[in-house]
Amino acid sequence: MDAKTDELRDAHDALAEVYASRLARVMDQLPADRAVLGMFCDLVLGNGAGAEVGDVGCGTGRLAPYLAARGLVPRGVDLSPEMIRVARRDQPGFRFDVADLRELPFGDASLAGVICWYSLMYCAPADRPRAFGELARVVRPGGYLATAFKAGDGEVRRGGVTLGTGFDVYWLSPDQMQRYITDAGFSITFWAGRPADPDENQPQGYLIAQRL
Ligand SMILES: C[S@@+](CC[C@H](N)C(=O)[O-])C[C@H]1O[C@@H](n2cnc3c(N)ncnc32)[C@H](O)[C@@H]1O
């Protein structure tokens, strides 16, 4: 593993319990997240291509109960072993594995969809074709990808600093995100954005795309 990936993994290992306590019930306060994820669930189930979806960069696994309650079968993967330990502890009954989104542990066209909820912003430019290519590889034609992301100018910044860690983040613009996703072999189904809430530092983007 390269030094940047080590740094990212170690930082998220250190943040796992912080995330677990801060984000446990945050979905209740995020109607836009619920609406977009709900649309993703409806689209996935509506095309009859199965219900198993990858939650890629799943963190503490907080999305799993929401997705399962809407009929999906989520499988979480995350780079950070600590995030996966916490996810297994806090969300028993779901499958979580340590894996890098640049090398997903799913077969070709094996999933009905993938979710990347605030997990694509760590990919350096050179890694993006491989990362988005992996997302396209594992979703069967007609399946869906959903992503939420902090929207910005795409420049590299240091994240996690206020929490005592540090790693590179790239807040892609909605146009950049759409381009990476369409270049990988998806067609955009839906996109939206919202201004930053008072406790957020960036506007948020949402996107759903269908695998061609
Ligand atoms: C901001 S957290 C979001 C977690 C979760 N999706 C959520 O919404 O609560 C980003 C997560 O992406 C994971 N991550 C970052 N880079 C990754 C990579 N290359 N492969 C897999 N997971 C990654 C981090 O370990 C972290 O748990």
Q: What are phi and psi of 195, to 5 degrees?
A: -65, 160
Q: What pLDDT digit, counting tens, does each position of 154-169 carry?
A: 999 999 998 888 999 9
Q: 140 C-alpha to center of ligand 1: Å?
A: 23
**22-80: pLDDT as tens digits:** 988 888 889 999 999 999 999 999 999 899 999 999 999 999 999 999 999 999 999 99
pLDDT at 200 over 90: no
Distance between CA 177 and CA 3 in Å, rounded? 25
User: Which amino acid residue places its CA nearest to atom 14 of ligand 1?
Assistant: 57
Tell me how far CA of residue 192 lies from CA of 37, 106, 149, 188, 203, in angstroms. 12, 29, 11, 11, 11
Residue with CA nearest ligand 1 atom 4: 59
pLDDT tens-digit profile of 164-186? Answer: 889 999 999 999 999 999 999 99
195 and 205 Cβ atoms separated by less than 8 Å: no
Question: By C-alpha distance, which of 211, 206, 210 is closest to 37?
Answer: 206
Tokens in use for 183?
């270049």
User: What is the percent of the chain where pLDDT is above 70?
Assistant: 100
User: For residue 102, which atom of ligand 1 is closest to its CA?
Assistant: 19
Mutational test site, ligand 1, from 122, 123, 138, 162, max ligand atoms within 8 Å of CB: 122
Q: What is the mean pLDDT of the chain?
A: 96
Number of residues that this document lists for the chain:
212
Q: What phi-psi label fits residue 124: left (phi over 0), alpha (psi between -120 and 50 degrees) or beta?
A: beta
Q: Give the distance (Å) from ligand 1 centre to CA of residue 109.
A: 22
* Cα 188 to ligand 1 centre (Å): 23
Q: Whose CA is nearest to atom 10 of ligand 1?
A: 119
The per-residue pLDDT for 157 is 96
| Contacts for 23-26: CB closer than 8 Å, 24+ residues apart | 23/59, 23/60, 23/62, 24/60, 24/62, 24/90, 26/62
